[in-house]
Amino acid sequence: MIAALFVLPTRGGNGGANSVIQEATALARMGCHIGITVQKKQLADFRNSYP
């Protein structure tokens, strides 16, 4: 099983984070275990950007 963890230094809602979300979603649909992490202070903004 393939697994990956993406560490984002951003709160989301921008081009780079959008690309990571798209790639992570595609990998998950192919059966990979995917995690995405952001700093705690950015978590609420990240969740609002990607409900």
Q: Count how many domains the chain has.
A: 1
Give this prediction's pTM: 0.81
Q: Per residue in 1-47, pLDDT tens?
A: 899 999 999 877 888 899 999 999 999 999 999 999 999 999 999 99
Residue 11 has φ and ψ, to the nearest 5°, of -85, -5
Residues 6+ apart with CB under 8 A from 29: none
pLDDT score at 39: 94
Domain with 13, as residue range(s), is: 3-49
